[in-house]
Structure formats: C-alpha cells, structure tokens
Amino acid sequence: MPRSKIILISILLAGSLTTAVAISSFFSGVLVIAQNNNNNNAFLKEDKKTTPRETVVTGGHGTGYNTVRTTGDVLDSINADERTDLAIDPMKYLREFNYGKVSTTDNGTTLREFTIVAQDKNLEVSPGVFMDAWTFNGTIPGPTIRATEGDLIKIKFLNNGSKPHTMHFHGIHQSQMDGVFEIIAPGGSFTYEFTAEPFGLFLYHCHMQPLEEHISKGLYGVYIVDPKTPRPPADEMVMVMNGYDTDFDMENNFYTVNGVPNYYMHHPIQIEKDKLIRVYLVNTLEFDQINNFHLHANLFHLYRTGTSLVPDEYTDIVTFSQGERGILEFSYKYPGPYMFHAHKTEFAEKGWTGLFLVKDDQSEPDVTAFTKGENAVYPSEINNDTFTAQTKTKESQSTVVSYGEQQQPSQGGS
Ligand SMILES: [Cu+2]
C-alpha cells in the first residue's frame, strides 16, 4: 500500500528530526547551566583555562557539542517477512488466547487442559541474527494461557529440551505445583494442576537456575485469569516486553514487544476509532532493571496486575520491573498512525517500537497483510485443538476479537 508506506516513512523521518531537536535542546540546556553556575562546575573550570570566547565541553570525546550514540547497532526487521525462522508471528500472537481443552468435572467445575513442550530452537531474532533459544511450544513468548477465576487448570508439561526445566506459574496454588522443587529432566514430564485464582494478569516461566539463563533464552509466557463477571467487551491483545542477548554477554542486544524487534512499526496493529482497546502488558525483560511502555497522543487506564476492576492510574506511560504487568485500557478519538514504544529510548532504538493504525472502520483495507506463521507448526506432542482451534471457537467469558472478525457478545460466566 504506497500511501501507508509514505505515512510510515514520514513518521520515521519525523521521529529522526524530533530526536535531533531534542538532543540539541538537551545540550543547549547543559551549556546554559555551565555558563550560569559560578562555582564547582567542571564545565566552567575548563572554560577558564581556555580563551574566553571558546566554549569547551569536557567529559565527552571532543570539543564542542557531544554527540549521542546508542550503544551497538540499531537493527531493523523491515524484512521480517522474508526471514526464515522468526521467534514468533507477532500479529498472530497478539490476539491469540488459548483456553485449553475444555470439559466439566463431576462437581461442575470447568476443567481446562493444556500441553506445553519445552524445546530447544534456533531462532532468527533479527535479520541474519540467529540465537539458540529455549522455548515453550516453539515460540518466544510461549502461548498465552487463559482461564476464568475458579477454573481447574491442568498443564501437561513435557521437557523435550536439552536442559532441565520447570513451569512456574504466578498466582495462588500448592507448593508442589509451584514449579520450583520438582525439576523436570530432559525427556521427563509433569502435570501441573491448580485452580485459577485470583483473577488478574500473570506470567509463567521456567524456574531452573541460573534463572537469568533460563528466562533470557525464552522460557516465559502470559497467563490470564478473567474475573467471573467479565470485563467489558473490548479489542483485546497481549504485549510482552522482552529482549535478546544474542552474544551471551549478559546484556541485551535487541528489545521487542512480542518477540520481533520493530515488527509493529512495519506491520501496524490496526484498531478501530472509538473502540475500547485492552492490552495485557507483561515485562519479562532479563538483565535490564526496568522497562516501560509509552502510548502516543493518548492516555490509558492502568490496572496494575489486573487484580482490580478499578483502575489505579490514568497515564500515558508505565514502568515495570521484571515480572511486573498491568492491563491498559484506552480508545482513540482520531484516526491515523500512532506510535507506542519504550520510553527508555535505548530500548526503543533497539527494537521496542510499534504503531497503532487507527481506522474509521474495519472495512478499510488491511495494510498489515502478513500471514507468515498462520500455519504454525507446533510440536507433534501437542494436540492442535489445544492451541489453535480453541482460539477461534472459544466459549469465551470475556470477548476476544480476532481482527477482521465480528466482535462476539459477552456470554457471562461459565
Ligand atoms: Cu529452564
């Protein structure tokens, strides 16, 4: 779509310009401070040693204004469509909620059964950059697991990886179901069984030591527990903020939302004007102390940990440490493209950046038009019913909208 490409290029150019203006403003500010401060200022002390008209800014790499560079390379996944083995299909992952194989126990409780397989996989995390990853069901992040408060959850976990792993779910459950002490050796299996409680937004991850390694290599996913009285209907989506340490030096080289750097910059997330958007936002980022999310030209209601139906904040930025998460709700008043990204700008420049494309109505053409991963191949042990068909034939408590499908009315609790 030439028009949309022009829009995107304009945004990128405008972004560069804004950055340049911001950088020059920042250093102008530094200079003013140096000139106005009479004592104890390194800049001024250096000035006195030089000719009066010359301004020398010390502490940098040369005279005059310093320049700012992002550490390392800024790589872009603009050719993601041609890549061979992506960590995940971010567009599919975005709105894919897995409700498991559903049945009812003798006492009337809803039982949801899942199969999760840990496996080693060599994934292309950015163009030409491959990483030996460890995955749940072959993707980073692993599948989003969703249930309603009070449901019984059974997770059959198979470790087909080369290292011992576990599954540790956040939430309330018994000690032996906590995925810490029962270590599952390669080739082993374990069934985790617990009640989904309380309602909220959680995560699951491997809990083997060294944790840094088992998490940074990809073993995590999102676990949503809906309240018995469902939240209002919305266009719902999952966003996991993560990173990749591709050279194993305990520092991230790439940052993403939903597994592929810059993906949604080139494949904007299409949403409808005035429609309620609900984002389940989780930070799994290893190594870095914080991560954050900033929404452009708008504000959102934030429900921290999703454990309340009353929002905690009305803001345009939220900062999480590792493992923190929150539900964001907002709608856009005006059509057009809007950025969302880490407000930790280094992360943004290394891939944690995306776009919402707000449309007047859904009949407008789909400019994302990217289908790679539609026929995702799951490990053979997995009954595909568990992870694909259920997404589309869910007996949903809260309304889940796949883009392009009509929104289904909420049906109440199970
Ligand atoms: Cu592990």
Helix H, strand E, coil C: the string for 193-234 is EEECCCCEEEEEECCCCCHHHHHHCCCEEEEEEECCCCCCCC
Sign of the torsion formed by the C-alpha atoms of 175, 179, 185 and 188: positive
Query: How far does CA 176 lie from the centroid of its chain?
Result: 29
CA of 166 from ligand 1 middle (Å) equals 6
CA of 184 from ligand 1 middle (Å) equals 9
Nearest one of 146, 142, 181 to 161, comparing CA atoms: 142
Residue 227: CB partners within 8 Å, gap ≥ 6? 148, 149, 199, 309
- Partnered with residue 189 across adjacent β-strands are 158
Cα separations in angstroms, 9 against 91, 328, 350, 409: 21, 28, 18, 38
CA of 182 from ligand 1 middle (Å) equals 12
Lowest mean pLDDT among 3-17, 312-326, 366-380: 366-380
CA of 165 from ligand 1 middle (Å) equals 4
Nearest one of 81, 39, 136 to 260, comparing CA atoms: 81
CA of 164 from ligand 1 middle (Å) equals 6
Domain edges within the chain: 2-49, 80-393
CA of 168 from ligand 1 middle (Å) equals 10
Query: 389 in helix, strand or coil?
Result: helix
CA of 341 from ligand 1 middle (Å) equals 29
CA of 347 from ligand 1 middle (Å) equals 25
Query: What percentage of the chain has pLDDT greater than the value 90?
Result: 60
In angstroms, the first-to-last Cα distance of the chain is 43
Lowest mean pLDDT among 85-94, 293-302, 399-408: 399-408
Q: Is pLDDT above 50 for 60? A: no
Pick the CATH number of 80-393 from 2.60.40.420, 3.40.640.10, 3.20.20.80, 2.60.40.10: 2.60.40.420
pLDDT computed for residue 73 by the predictor: 53
Cα separations in angstroms, 6 against 13, 120, 216, 222, 400: 10, 40, 36, 35, 32
| CA–CA distance, 52 with 295 (Å, rounded to integer) | 46
Q: Which two tokens stand for residue 129?
A: 């950059």
Mean pLDDT of 64-87: 57
Residue 318's region, left for phi above 0, alpha for psi from -120 to 50, else beta, is beta
CA of 259 from ligand 1 middle (Å) equals 18
CA of 98 from ligand 1 middle (Å) equals 22
CA of 142 from ligand 1 middle (Å) equals 13
pLDDT in tens, 111-153: 999 999 999 999 887 777 888 999 999 999 999 999 999 999 9
pTM value?
Answer: 0.73
CA of 120 from ligand 1 middle (Å) equals 10
CA of 206 from ligand 1 middle (Å) equals 5
CA of 2 from ligand 1 middle (Å) equals 45
CA of 390 from ligand 1 middle (Å) equals 27
